[in-house]
Amino acid sequence: MLQDTDNKKEPMRKVDTAWLRMESPHNLMMITGLMFLDRMPDLAQFCEVLEKKFLKYRRFKQLAHQSASGCYWQDDSYFDMAAHVRRVALPGKCDYKELQDYVSNLASTPLDKNKPLWSYHIVENYEKGPVVVSRIHHCYADGVALIQVLLSMTSTSREKSLDFEANETSKEKHQKLGLLKQVINPAKKQFKHSLKLINDVTELGKKILHDPSLIEKTVGDSVDIAEELFNALTLSDDPETVYKSDLCTRKRVAWAPSLPLDEVKAIAKATGTTVNDVLISNLAG
- The answer to whether residue 132 scores a pLDDT higher than 90 is yes
Q: Is residue 33 part of a domain?
A: yes
The per-residue pLDDT for 147 is: 80
Which domain does 178 fall in, by range? 167-237
The per-residue pLDDT for 143 is: 75
Average the pLDDT over 214-233 and give the result: 54
List the single range of 62-71, 213-222, 235-244 with lowest mean pLDDT.
Answer: 213-222
Q: Is residue 246 part of a domain?
A: no
What confidence category does residue 93 fall into, taking pLDDT thresholds of 50, 70 and 90?
A: very high
Q: Are residues 19 and 150 in the same domain?
A: yes
Q: Is residue 28 part of a domain?
A: yes
CB-CB contact of 9 with 73 (8 Å): yes
- The answer to whether residue 140 scores a pLDDT higher than 80 is yes
Q: Are residues 31 and 106 in the same domain?
A: yes
Instruction: Give the Å distances, CA to CA, from 206 to 53, 202, 216, 221, 223.
Output: 48, 7, 16, 17, 15
pLDDT digits (tens, 9 = 90+) for 165-205: 656 555 555 454 555 455 555 555 555 555 555 555 555 55
Identify residue 224 by its one-letter amino acid code.
D
| Residue of 146, 138, 143, 110 lying closest to 18 (CA atoms) | 138
Q: Are residues 15 and 136 in the same domain?
A: yes
Average the pLDDT over 40-64 and give the result: 93
Q: Are residues 225 and 270 in the same domain?
A: no
- Mean pLDDT taken over the chain: 80
Number of domains in the chain: 3
Q: Are residues 83 and 148 in the same domain?
A: yes
User: In the listed set 150, 165, 180, which residue is the last one of a domain according to the structure?
Assistant: 165
Q: Are residues 143 and 91 in the same domain?
A: yes
Average the pLDDT over 65-92 and give the result: 94
pTM value? Answer: 0.71
Which DSSP helix (H) or strand (E) runs through 136?
strand 131-137
List the single range of 6-10, 58-62, 228-232, 275-279 with lowest mean pLDDT.
Answer: 228-232
Q: Are residues 47 and 20 in the same domain?
A: yes
